[in-house]
Amino acid sequence: MADGKASSKVGSGQLTCDSVEIWSDEDYARATGLVQILDENGHADPARLPHLPSEKLIRLYQGMLGSRLLDEQLMPLQRQGRIGHYFEARGQEAGFIAGAEAIEKTDYFVQGLREGAAAVYRGLPLGKYLAQILGTAHDASRGRQMPCHVGAAAIHHISTSSCVASQIPHAVGIAWAAKIRKEPTVALGFFGDGATSEDDFHAGLNFAAVYQAPVVFVCQNNQWAISTPVAAQTRSETLAVKGLAYAVPSLRVDGNDVLAMYATIKAAVDAARAGHGPTFIEAVTYRLGAHSSADDPARYRDGHEDAIWQKRDPLLRFGRWLAERNILDSTAQAAARARITDAIRAAIAAEEAVGPPPTASLFEDVFARPTWLLEEQKAGLRNSG
């Protein structure tokens, strides 16, 4: 082209098309850099701290701790055969608890596989949360859904659908609907690094950009999609750069830094609500546990990597900072651990006492008038005593 702008120079930050700059050097720097406020030793730059009162900081800590303690108690229950299946969030708590804090009650939280504790943080009673995981008669889906698939309409928490990346079009759809209705609602959608290789990721980001939907995407890049490492997932420099292709502002953030995650998500949510469209956030984190209770990570990754990420544990890092600033000292942190552990233990006991839904409930809720086959099976169940 005569003005020279249409010749693409991929990777230099100068990708242009018909004289329209698609992304600038600054955009590229945000998508390949790393936003961090709290370093790995728990030290923060005071000038960059988000404006959060002490009670909110303590709430963030307790939310992350609550998620960690749920994992600590529920994984053994799976091993004892009291839960069918379990997905831990250990190591990834900063991103989703920050996200839960950054949105309003009227906004929607669309969870991926591991963000269920965000529902408790946003007001779902612990017993209700456990009812889904234990599959008791109190569970809204009556024990028919896989554990860790909690949804709660009252608090705008959307259950993960299990299909990798399906959260993305769900979040975009919610956001687009809100825009059409002229409601000030934002959708916050979580998913894993594996999701960025799926069609839904590309269709979702493109759609959100074209329609400027008020949605914030958070990719929890925990380095592994079951046994597939990120390096075998993509040749892209980072996951965040993928968003630039769709002209979605994209940032790479330390996903184990709850303050950076809060500040980044809050800014993106505010922008979406103000009519500036979507943002894509790559949260760099690590899955400290197994993919699920059916997986053994020792088969595909070595302990060396684990040891590095144990030192970056988001809970320890934030706890250290809170203690140093005298916001929550180590005694208060230990007391919170004991109190939440007891509350979870009591809630599990109460929910287990409820027991499973009656077997005959299997025949309910699907057909207004059951088919002859279902009637026959129901009669068979009755006759079996």
Q: Which residues bind ligand TPP (CB under 6 A)?
A: 112-114, 162-164, 192-195, 222, 224-226, 287, 291
Q: Residue 101 gets which letter from DSSP?
A: H
135 token code pair: 């599959």
What are the Cα distances from residue 33, in Å, to 2, 6, 274, 382? 33, 26, 26, 63
Q: How far is the CB of 225 from ligand TPP (least distance, A)?
A: 3
Residue of minimal Cβ distance to ligand TPP = 192
Stated as kind and residue range, the H or E segment containing 213 is none
In the bound state with ligand TPP, the residue whose beta carbon lies nearer, of 93 and 193, is 193
Q: How far is the CB of 89 from ligand TPP (least distance, A)?
A: 9
In the bound state with ligand TPP, the residue whose beta carbon lies nearer, of 164 and 269, is 164
In the bound state with ligand TPP, the residue whose beta carbon lies nearer, of 226 and 316, is 226
Our answer to whether residue 287 is catalytic in this structure is: yes
In the bound state with ligand TPP, the residue whose beta carbon lies nearer, of 172 and 178, is 172
The 3-class SS string of 120-189 reads HHCCCCHHHHHHHHHCCCCCCCCCCCCCCCCCEHHHCEECCCCCCCCHHHHHHHHHHHHHHCCCCCCEEE
Close Cβ partners of 51 (under 8 Å, ≥ 6 residues apart): none
Q: Which among 30, 90, 138, 291 is annotated as catalytic? A: 291
Measured CA to CA, the distance from residue 70 to residue 117 in angstroms comes to 8
Q: Which among 287, 312, 317, 320 is annotated as catalytic? A: 287
Residue of 225, 229, 228, 208 whose CA lies nearest to 217: 208
Measured CA to CA, the distance from residue 26 to residue 352 in angstroms comes to 53
Q: How far is the CB of 213 from ligand TPP (least distance, A)?
A: 22
Q: How far is the CB of 300 from ligand TPP (least distance, A)?
A: 13
Our answer to whether residue 170 is catalytic in this structure is: no
Our answer to whether residue 300 is catalytic in this structure is: yes
* Segment 319-328 long-range contacts (CB within 8 Å, at least 24 positions apart): 319/42, 319/61, 320/41, 320/42, 321/38, 321/42, 321/43, 321/44, 322/57, 322/58, 322/61, 324/42, 327/54, 327/57, 327/58, 328/57, 328/58, 328/61
Q: How far is the CB of 86 from ligand TPP (least distance, A)?
A: 13
CB of 381 within 8 A of CB of 358? no
In the bound state with ligand TPP, the residue whose beta carbon lies nearer, of 222 and 279, is 222
Q: How far is the CB of 292 from ligand TPP (least distance, A)?
A: 8
**Alpha carbon distance, N-terminus to C-terminus of the chain:** 81
Q: How far is the CB of 216 from ligand TPP (least distance, A)?
A: 18
In the bound state with ligand TPP, the residue whose beta carbon lies nearer, of 131 and 148, is 148
Residue 226 identity:
I
Measured CA to CA, the distance from residue 273 to residue 263 in angstroms comes to 15
Burial class (CB in 10 A: 0-12, 13-18, 19+), 383: exposed
Q: Which among 43, 85, 300, 339 is annotated as catalytic? A: 300
Which residue carries 């000030």 as its tokens?
184
In the bound state with ligand TPP, the residue whose beta carbon lies nearer, of 151 and 277, is 151
Pairing state of beta strands 20-21 and 16-17? Answer: antiparallel
Residues serving a catalytic function are: 287, 291, 300
